[in-house]
């Protein structure tokens, strides 16, 4: 794919959300194909979860995205897909890894969207691959249960907020789900939702630091609830934590079926996005500290700090491991 000007922010990088959408489309194609490969009841693979994703280097307009996807594990009812994105400057031939993502899909019957089908098992080259996959499967299962309980929070508007407070940068947008947002089953593509979430998170980050910003990473996202065609979705974001050079933004997606179902508005997805602020030369800039006011804001700041330190420690451990002989 060639990146077009409409996928870019003002300075010229491609939005993280556009990359997430591409990744999800590749994952949906490969897992839908796999789940239909042995005949049986036709199905569409629906995104259940995306693992934490780091954006290693920005992608610019005019570069071609090379997306490759591989099925790395199958449980009875789910498929793990690894997607790698490389950016290639076709004029110079230079290539860079943009990011690597792990996604989980679940096959839903084309005739009955509430029926989860069985996944044909894959063959592993080595026994350890299956064991490691099983370990990842169990870990994500636990984590999904946890976020399901956390999902009750709501963002309220603030009148005349002070600069650098939570209320000052919080943002939301509303989107009416049209046919081009949806899969064959009539539900929103996970990638479409992630693109909108990144859009809101980017507005929050830009309002806070008033500079050019880019997505640095996205924490694991769980898709607990499907969103149907014709629904209205509200995507809201608020800043939860700032380090010296990064901002963490929590994003909620609430769906309101409101036309042909008697169902109340519900929380469909939530996630944490991390952004950094960049100078025109692409160097990271210091970020103004987030001013927390209420007890809840202070608690969320501390929780964000915990996630930040944990990620930092994990990355250092990986680097040390990589440096060992």
Span of 24-32, 116-124, 280-288, 290-298 interacting with a second copy by CB under 8 A: 24-32
Among 14, 23, 26, 201, binds a second copy (CB under 8 A): 26
Report whether 207 contacts 239 (CB < 8 A). no
Residues 177-196 that bind a second copy (CB under 8 A): 178-180, 182, 184
How open is the CA angle 216-222-223, to the nearest 5 degrees? 120
**Looking at beta carbons only, is 178 or 306 nearer to a second copy?**
178
- Does 54 qualify as catalytic in the annotation? no
- Does 151 qualify as catalytic in the annotation? no
Q: Is 210 in the site for a second copy (CB under 8 A)?
A: yes
Q: Is 33 in the site for a second copy (CB under 8 A)?
A: yes
The DSSP annotation for 228-275 comes to BTT-EEEEEEEEEEE-SS-EEEEEEEEEE--SS--PPPEEEEEEEEEE
Q: Is 285 in the site for a second copy (CB under 8 A)?
A: no
Structure tokens at 106: 């679940």
Residues 91-120 that bind a second copy (CB under 8 A): 91-93, 110
Size of the site for a second copy (CB under 8 A): 52
CA dist., res. 212 & res. 228, Å (int): 34
Least distance (Å) between residue 243 CB and a second copy: 21
**Looking at beta carbons only, is 42 or 307 nearer to a second copy?**
42
Among 173, 285, 309, 313, binds a second copy (CB under 8 A): 173
Least distance (Å) between residue 280 CB and a second copy: 12
Helix axes 190-209, 16-35, angle to 10 degrees: 160
**Looking at beta carbons only, is 141 or 210 nearer to a second copy?**
210
Q: Using CB under 8 A as the criterion, what x/- string covers residues 36-65 for binding a second copy?
A: x--x--xxx----------------xx-x-
Q: Active-site residue among 7, 13, 36, 198?
A: 198
The residue written with tokens 């997306």 in the block is: 67
For residue 63, give every residue at least 6 positions away whose Cβ sits within 8 Å of its Cβ, in sequence order, or none: 2, 3, 14, 87, 88, 89, 90
Among 195, 229, 238, 300, binds a second copy (CB under 8 A): 229
Burial class (CB in 10 A: 0-12, 13-18, 19+), 190: buried
Q: Is 288 in the site for a second copy (CB under 8 A)?
A: no
**Looking at beta carbons only, is 49 or 229 nearer to a second copy?**
229
**Looking at beta carbons only, is 179 or 325 nearer to a second copy?**
179
Q: How many helices (H) and strands (E) does the chain have?
A: 5, 11
Q: Is 159 in the site for a second copy (CB under 8 A)?
A: no
Structure tokens at 163: 């600069």
Q: Is 296 in the site for a second copy (CB under 8 A)?
A: no
The neighbouring-strand residues paired with 81 are 71, 103
Q: Is 203 in the site for a second copy (CB under 8 A)?
A: yes
Burial class (CB in 10 A: 0-12, 13-18, 19+), 4: exposed
Span of 34-42, 241-249, 273-281, 317-325 interacting with a second copy by CB under 8 A: 34-42
Output the 3-class SS for 69-131: EEEEEECCCCEEEEEEEEEEECCCCCEEEEEEEEEEEEEEECCCCCCECCCCCCCCCCHHHHH
- Distance between terminal CA atoms of the chain? 39
**214 SS3 class:** strand
Q: Give the interface with a second copy as residue ranges (CB under 8 A).
A: 1-2, 4-6, 8-10, 25-26, 28-29, 32-33, 36, 39, 42-44, 61-62, 64, 67, 90-93, 110, 171, 173-174, 176, 178-180, 182, 184, 199, 202-203, 206-207, 210-211, 229-230, 232, 256, 258-260, 262
Q: Give the residue numbers annotated as catalytic, written as ranges.
A: 9, 198
């Amino acid at each position: 794919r060639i990146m077009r000007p409409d996928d870019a922010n003002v300075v010229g990088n491609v939005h993280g959300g556009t990359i997430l959408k591409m990744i999800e489309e590749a994952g949906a194609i490969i897992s839908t194909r796999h789940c239909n490969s042995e005949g049986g009841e036709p199905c569409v693979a629906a995104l259940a979860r995306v693992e934490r994703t780091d954006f290693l280097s920005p992608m610019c307009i005019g570069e071609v995205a090379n997306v490759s996807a591989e099925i790395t594990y199958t449980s009875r009812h789910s498929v793990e897909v690894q997607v790698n994105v490389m950016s290639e400057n076709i004029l110079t031939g230079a290539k860079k890894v943009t990011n690597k993502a792990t996604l989980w899909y679940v096959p839903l019957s084309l005739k009955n969207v509430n029926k989860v089908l069985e996944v044909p098992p894959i063959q592993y080259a080595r026994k350890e691959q299956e064991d490691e996959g099983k370990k990842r499967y169990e870990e994500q299962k636990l984590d999904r249960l946890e976020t399901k309980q956390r999902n009750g929070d709501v963002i309220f508007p603030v009148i005349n907020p002070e600069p650098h407070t939570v209320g000052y940068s919080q943002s939301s947008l509303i989107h009416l789900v049209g046919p081009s947002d949806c899969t064959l089953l009539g539900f929103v593509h996970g990638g479409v939702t992630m693109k909108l979430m990144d859009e809101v998170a980017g507005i929050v980050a830009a309002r806070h630091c008033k500079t050019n910003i880019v997505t640095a990473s996205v924490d694991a996202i769980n898709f607990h609830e499907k969103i149907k065609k014709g629904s209205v979705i509200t995507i809201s974001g608020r800043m939860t934590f700032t380090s010296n050079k990064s901002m963490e933004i929590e994003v909620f997606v609430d769906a309101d079926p409101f036309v042909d179902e008697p169902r109340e508005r519900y929380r469909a997805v939530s996630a944490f996005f991390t952004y950094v602020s960049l100078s025109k030369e692409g160097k990271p800039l210091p970020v103004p500290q987030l001013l927390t006011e209420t007890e809840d804001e202070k608690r969320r700041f501390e929780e964000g700090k915990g996630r930040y330190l944990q990620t930092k420690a994990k990355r250092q451990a990986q680097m040390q491991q990589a440096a060992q002989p």
